[in-house]
Every structure is written in structure tokens, then in C-alpha cells.
Structure 1
Amino acid sequence: MNSYRRKAAILIALVSAVLAIIASSAASFVARENAEHATVQLAVEESRRMIGQFDIGDLNGPDGQAVATRAARALAGGLFEVAEIYDRNGELLAEWNTGEGERLQAQIDEHEGLQSRQPDYQGLYLPDGRWVLRVFVPLYGDQPADAAPTAYFEGVRVVPDWQRQNMLGTTLTAALMAALAAIACGLAIYPIVVHLNNENDRKSRDLLKSHIALLEAMGKAVAKRDSDTGDHNYRVTNIAMAIGEKLDLADKPMRALLSGALLHDVGKIGVPDRILLKPGRLDDQEMALMRSHVPQGEDIVDGIPSLDEARDVIACHHEKWDGTGYPRGLAGEDIPLSARIFAVADVFDALCSPRPYKDAMSFETAWGIIRDDAGSHFDPRVVEAFRPIARKLHEQHFGRNGGRSREILERGIAKYFF
């Protein structure tokens, strides 16, 4: 499993777990509320049915207490352990308790009056762990629905263990189903996400390959104008990459370094061949034209987001540590690190390669120049990083086993771009 799939699996699993917890909690709450509501509705309907057998219109007359007592007695012992009847003003008319109801009364607070026109209830947990429902039912008798209640009924019911177990089972089932649904969604989404990512990754790789091929082609086209082979670009990019690795460059700055190395001299497209290939020393005017390849290179990549990361190397690879370089005369750490790294790679390759105006130098001569120019032309820290790998790089690119620059670069591109 690659890193993306592992991350996707972990994230989807975490999201699924969170959704499972949220969904199961919500489902548990809704299931419990529904079960509780169903129990209350049963109690309300039963209380109304039983009271309907009595003439509750008489509750407010001279025989109201007797009628209320008969109604309370009828209700207690069935669904309710405590049954109380109140008149329209909320005054207690009658109360009837079972033996259990008398014990419950000592554990339940007195109500604060009944004024609601709709049935209501309270769910209470007793100190001994039992769960009771306290039901409040307004009674209308033959009065119209918009009239004030004729009387009120209050009943207290202990929910039996079997009913609680049934409610708990319903709640757990709902919670489990919700959790499984969330997990199933995660399992279903994962392969879709992986497929879409693979497709996007394939397209991105194709686009990136085209981008790198463009960098390579542009750099190689320029390199062939002032050297015997286009391998110059491969060599300087590999040398710069090796120095960057010694300096522990992260992936992003390494990609910027490689892109800049491939395009470092792209501005030479605008330099005439008579100057670019002149075998002798350039005069001041010719040198000015040669140096113009830096701003021309910047202009070429300007406004192209995919080439923007190459800008530092293109713009600053001829700057010098002591500030005597061009075109801006930057010094020290004001010069971007990628340009300081590339400067060492570029000069080393130029010293070790034959050109129309000179022969290739030996490793010892080329390294001696690089070493001696540390602190003036080059960043001493970069030269120090280059020192232990310089001979090996010379053998790879200029010795008997030379010619493998393209192969080495392909491995570097695969490592840092893919």
C-alpha cells in the first residue's frame, strides 16, 4: 500500500469512526425518545380511556371529589402506581396509590401546578436505579378542543425491566445499524477515492513527464549551441543534485534546483553564434551581449507558473559570493541557495569539459580552482559539501565510465518529481 492509499485509508477510517459515533449516538437518542414517547402515549390513551368512563364534568360540582376518587382508584394498579385527579384550578381532588406508589411518592418531588393544555411527561431515575414516567394529562370531557381543561390527571408509572430491556435493545439496534451504515459508506468510498486518485495521479504524471521533457529539450537545445554535446545539461544537473543531497535539501527546493539546472542557460537562445562560439576572448561589448542571456532567460520563463521555480537559478547562477558577479551584484546569502549550489556545478563542468576555445582540465586542476575560489566566487559551505564527492562525480561524468549522465538524471527525476 503506497503512502497515499495508507493516508486515504486512515482518514476515511477516522471519518467513518467519527460518523459512526455521531450517527449511533443520534440514532440511540432518537430510538430512546421514540420508545419513551410510545410508552407515554400508551399511558395517556389509557388514562383518557379509563377516565372517559366517568362523568368528569361533575368533578367541579358537589360530587366532584367522589367521582375523582373513583377515577383515581380505577387508574391506580393498572398502568400507574400513583393516580391523582386535580380540578380545573390545579387543586387536588383525589389520590390513589398502590403499595409501591406510596413508596414512590416519598422519592418524587411535588409538582408545581398543572396549566398546560397538552399532555406532558417527565422521565425520572430513582436512587435505586429504577426509571419512572410521570404523565400529565389535561381532561376536557365534552368541552370543545379550544376550551380550558375541565380537570387534570397525573399518573406515575414504573417502567418494568422487560420494557426497559426492549427499549434498550431497540436503541442498541438502531445505534448499531447507524454505525454499520457509516462504516459501510467508508468502505464503499475508499476504492472510489483510490480509483479517482490513481486516475488523477496518472494524468499528473503524464503532465509532469511532458513538463520535464520540455525542460530537458529547451536546455539541451541551448547546450548544443555552445558545446560539443547536449550532455552538458545532464552533467551539471546531476552534479548540482549530488551537492544538494549532501546539503540535505528537501524535495521541493531540490525540484526547484533541478528545474533551474536544466534551464539555466535558456537565455542563450538570444545570443548570436558569433559570440557564443567565438574561440577567443570576448571584448567588453561582446561580453555584455553574452551576459544578456541572464535577463533574457528570466524573460523567457516569466509568466509561466510551471517554470517559475527555475527562476532563482536562471537569474542568479552567475552571482558570486563576494558580490562581484552579475547581473545584480548579489553577495553571500542574498544569493539563493539553489543558485550558489548550481554555480559550483556549472563552473566545475565548464572546467572539465572541452569547449571550442579550450581543452578539458584534469580533475586536480579543476578541483583546485573550485577550492581556491571558495569564499570569493563560491559559498564555502557549498564547496565543503562538494569536496568529498567531487572525484566520484568527475569519474561518473568525465572518466572512463562517463556517458551515464542521462541515466543518472532519470533516476534523480524519478526520485524527486515522482
Structure 2
Amino acid sequence: MTNFKQKAAIRIGCASLILAIISSVFAWYISKENFEKSIISLAYEESHRLIMHHKSIDQKSDNGETVIQQGVQTLTGGLFDIAEIYDVNGKKLAESLTAEGKKIEDQLPEHVFLNTNKSEYESVTLANGEWVLTVFVPLHSLTETKLNTDLGYLEGVRIVPEWQKKQIFQNSFIVSMLVSLAALLCGMIIYPIVVSLSKENENKTLEILNSHIAMMESLGRAIAKRDSDTGAHNYRVAWIAAKLGEEVGLSGGKMQSLIAGSFLHDVGKIGIPDAILLKPGKLSESEFAVIRTHVQQGEEIVMGMGWLDGANEVVSAHHEKWDGSGYPRALKHEEIPLSARIFAIADVFDALSSKRPYKEPMPYEKVMDILKKDTGSHFDATLMRLFVPMSKGISEKLNGLNEDKVRELLEERVRQHFYT
């Protein structure tokens, strides 16, 4: 399973798990709400039945209080553990309690007198963990005649039993499991679609990346040919810079910019006239000034290519020196971008180690003597301390390799840092 497939599977699984947790909480809340509303409905129906049964009895008559007391007793033991009837002024007319109701009566929160035509309820958890519902049903709103108009409201208290709590939990669990199963099924259906679309997108991205790298190579080879050289120098310095960049710890976009910038460091020479670029003898001051413009021209080229913007750090600063004696901006120390400082070492090392039309390659020991001598003036000493131990292996690796072989070495680095 590829890294993307693993991520997709993990994320879909996590989404299903989160959905299951949320649905469990939501299902519990809905089940609890439905249960509480059902208690109100039952209380309303029972109260209505009570009023209809006794509506011909005026509670102010001789047996009115007895009838009302009998009424509240019919509501306790089944639906409620405490049942109380109040008149419209808030005076208690009758009360009935079960044994369980008596135990919790003094733990119930006090409430203000209710004089409304709307049924209400309170849901509380007592200190001992009991879940208690208190229901308020206005009785005067249930009368269909002018009788019993002095009846205020019924207050019913129900201690929710354990079996009912378990039932609510089971309902919630079933709902959450169904939602989780639905989420997993959706994930199983979506997963191959996501993978397929990602594969298509990856293929298109690779096509674009391949075209970008091919364009980079074409530009590098073009300037190398104009400079009376093969493209091997660009491949070598890009590979050496990448090796040193890895030692420094560069990765991702920074490493990609280093490789691209190293390969295209002299791309601005495309704009230099042949008479100056290919002049066999020593350049005059004015001619050297023209040669120096290749840095600015290179900046303009890579900055206009979007994906190569990162290469600008090397292109614009590859002739800067640690002590500030370089050009075009005389940058020094950390003012010089790290990638340009890395490239400077790779460029000089390869230039001294390689055969050119105008010179033979220097021995490794002489090359390193020059680099060490220029450490602190041309080169960053910290980077040189990293490069020196690896320089011998680099020299041996590149020794005798033609352009095709060096290109293969760079392609390994490109695959590692551009395609993963």
C-alpha cells in the first residue's frame, strides 16, 4: 500500500470513528429528549383523564379534597414517584409520594410558582446520581367546562429507573452503530474513487514535472554548448551540490531549488555575445563587465518561469563570496543564500577537478588545498567542514565519468527529491 493509500485509509477510518462518536452523543441526546417529551405527553394525558373523570366535582365541596387526593394517588407508583396538585395561586391542594419519592423529596431543587397554559419540565441529576424528571402540567387549561377553574397545575416527579436508562443507551448505541456502519460503507465506496482520482492527478503532475525537468536540462545543455563545453559540468555541479545539501539537511522545495539553480547557474550566458563569451584570450575590463551581466540576465530568465523561481537564489548569488568581494551585490556571510554558498563550493571543486578546453584537471590534493586556502574568504567555513570529509568520495565517484554517466547520477537525486 502506497503512502497516499495509507493516509487515505487512515483518514477515512478516523472520519468514521469521529462520526461514530458524534452520532453516539447525538443519538443519546435525541433519545433522552424523546423520552422526556414522552413523559410530558403521558403526564398530560393522565392529567386530562383525571380532570375528565372528576370534572363534575368541585374541589371546594365537602368531598372535593378527597377526590383530588385520590386523583394524585392514581398518578404515583406508576408514572410518577411524587405527584402534587396546586391551585392557581400556588397553594398545594394534594400530594402523593412513593417510598422512593420520599427519599429524594428534600433533594429536589426549588422552583418558582408556575401560572401558564404550557406544559414544562426540568431534568436534573441528584447528588446520588439519580436522574429525575419534574413535569409541570397546567390543569386549568384541560377543563372543558367552567368547573375546576380553580385548579392550577400538576407537578409530577419521576425517578428514571435503570431499565429505562439502559433502554435509552441501547437505542443510542444502535443508532450510532448504524451511522458508523453507514460511514464505513461510504468510506469503502469512496476510497477506490479517491485513489483513482489521485492516481490520475499524480500522473498529470508527473507529466508536468517531467516536462519541467526536461526544459531545465535543455536550457542547461544549451548554455553549456554555447560556452564551448559539454553539459557534463552542469550535471556534476548539480549532483555535488545535492550531495552537500543532503549533508546539510536540505529537503523538499529547498533541495529542488538547489538542484535546479545549480543546473541553471549560468543560464544568463545565453544573452552574452559570442565574441565575448567565446573569446580565447583574456577579457578586457569592459568585456568582463559584460560577462558579469549574465547574473542579472539569468535572474530575469528563471524569475519568469514560475516553477523555477526557487532557482533564483543560486542564479543570482553564485558569484558572491563569503567575505563580500563577489558580485553583483557584494553580499557577505549569511547575506548570501545558503543554496548559493553550497553551490560555490561545488562549482569551484568541479571547475578545478575537471578537464576544460583550456586546461587539464588538477589533482585532488591540489584542488582541496585551494579550497581550504579560500575558506573564510570565498567559502563558508561551516559548509567546508562538512564538505572536506566527503570530497574524496565525490572525486573518486566522478573520476572518468562521461556526460551520460553523470546524468544518471543526477537523475537519481532528481527522483529522490522531486518524485517522492
Give the TM-score band, short-chain normalised.
Answer: 0.7 to 0.9
SS where residue 375 of structure 2 aligns? coil
Deviation at 1:311, TM superposition (A): 0.8
**Structure 1 range deviating more: 290-299 or 225-234:** 225-234
Deviation at 1:125, TM superposition (A): 5.2
Deviation at 1:307, TM superposition (A): 1.4
Structure 1, residues 301-351: CA drift from partner, whole Å, max 9, x if none? 234331111111111111222322221222233222211221222223223
CA contact (8 A) 1:27 1:175 kept: yes
Partner of 1:246: 247
User: d(CA) in 1 for partners of 2:128 and 2:380?
Assistant: 81
Is the aligned partner of 1:2 residue 2:2? yes
Partner of 2:144: 142
Partner of 1:406: 407
SS where residue 327 of structure 1 aligns? coil
CA contact (8 A) 1:226 1:355 kept: no
SS where residue 339 of structure 1 aligns? helix
Structure 1, residues 107-129: CA drift from partner, whole Å, max 9, x if none? 65665433221122334556776
Deviation at 1:192, TM superposition (A): 3.9
Deviation at 1:279, TM superposition (A): 1.8
Partner of 1:51: 51
Is the aligned partner of 1:385 residue 2:390? no
User: d(CA) in 2 for partners of 1:163 and 1:336?
Assistant: 71
Is the aligned partner of 1:285 residue 2:286? yes
Residues 254 and 53 (structure 1), Cα distance of their counterparts in 2 relative to 1, 3 Å cut: same
Residues 86 and 213 (structure 1), Cα distance of their counterparts in 2 relative to 1, 3 Å cut: same
User: d(CA) in 2 for partners of 1:102 and 1:352?
Assistant: 100
CA contact (8 A) 2:231 2:403 kept: no
Structure 1, residues 84-140: CA drift from partner, whole Å, max 9, x if none? 332222222233455665566566566543322112233455677655543322123
Is the aligned partner of 1:233 residue 2:234? yes
CA contact (8 A) 1:85 1:95 kept: yes
User: d(CA) in 1 for partners of 2:335 and 2:406?
Assistant: 31
Partner of 2:205: 204
Structure 1, residues 22-44: CA drift from partner, whole Å, max 9, x if none? 22101111112112321331232
Partner of 1:121: 121
CA contact (8 A) 2:86 2:151 kept: no
CA contact (8 A) 2:24 2:172 kept: no
Residues 308 and 401 (structure 1), Cα distance of their counterparts in 2 relative to 1, 3 Å cut: closer
SS where residue 94 of structure 1 aligns? strand
Residues 207 and 148 (structure 1), Cα distance of their counterparts in 2 relative to 1, 3 Å cut: farther
Partner of 2:37: 37
User: d(CA) in 1 for partners of 2:364 and 2:103?
Assistant: 104
Residue identity opposite 1:370 in structure 2:
L
Gaps of 5+ in 1: none
Residue identity opposite 1:85 in structure 2:
I
Residues 311 and 75 (structure 1), Cα distance of their counterparts in 2 relative to 1, 3 Å cut: closer
User: d(CA) in 1 for partners of 2:80 and 2:212?
Assistant: 81
SS where residue 71 of structure 2 aligns? helix
SS where residue 404 of structure 1 aligns? helix
Partner of 1:95: 95
CA contact (8 A) 1:85 1:154 kept: yes
Deviation at 1:260, TM superposition (A): 0.5
Deviation at 1:62, TM superposition (A): 6.5
Residue identity opposite 2:278 in structure 1:
L
Residue identity opposite 1:207 in structure 2:
I
User: d(CA) in 1 for partners of 2:387 and 2:110?
Assistant: 89
User: d(CA) in 2 for partners of 1:99 and 1:398?
Assistant: 99
**Structure 1 range deviating more: 405-414 or 229-238:** 229-238
User: d(CA) in 2 for partners of 1:109 and 1:337?
Assistant: 71
CA contact (8 A) 1:82 1:157 kept: yes
Structure 1, residues 50-75: CA drift from partner, whole Å, max 9, x if none? 32111267235676434423433444
Structure 1, residues 175-202: CA drift from partner, whole Å, max 9, x if none? 3333444454455544444333333322
Partner of 1:263: 264
Residues 149 and 334 (structure 1), Cα distance of their counterparts in 2 relative to 1, 3 Å cut: farther
User: d(CA) in 2 for partners of 1:172 and 1:264?
Assistant: 65
**Structure 1 range deviating more: 291-300 or 32-41:** 32-41
Matches within 5 A, 1:65-76: 65-76=65-76
Aligned residues: 416
Partner of 2:374: 373
Deviation at 1:222, TM superposition (A): 0.4
Q: Percent identity?
A: 47
Residues 195 and 76 (structure 1), Cα distance of their counterparts in 2 relative to 1, 3 Å cut: same
RMSD: 3.1
**Structure 1 range deviating more: 329-338 or 117-126:** 117-126
Partner of 1:175: 176
User: d(CA) in 2 for partners of 1:165 and 1:378?
Assistant: 76
CA contact (8 A) 1:32 1:171 kept: no
SS where residue 134 of structure 1 aligns? strand
Deviation at 1:277, TM superposition (A): 1.8
CA contact (8 A) 2:345 2:379 kept: yes
User: d(CA) in 1 for partners of 2:368 and 2:160?
Assistant: 93
CA contact (8 A) 1:236 1:261 kept: yes
CA contact (8 A) 2:227 2:277 kept: yes
Deviation at 1:243, TM superposition (A): 2.3
CA contact (8 A) 1:317 1:339 kept: yes
**Could you tell me the TM-score, scaled by structure 2's length?**
0.86
Partner of 1:19: 19
User: d(CA) in 2 for partners of 1:289 and 1:103?
Assistant: 101
User: d(CA) in 1 for partners of 2:166 and 2:249?
Assistant: 64
Displaced runs of 4+ in structure 1, greater than 6 A?
none
**Could you tell me the TM-score, scaled by structure 1's length?**
0.87
Residue identity opposite 2:48 in structure 1:
R
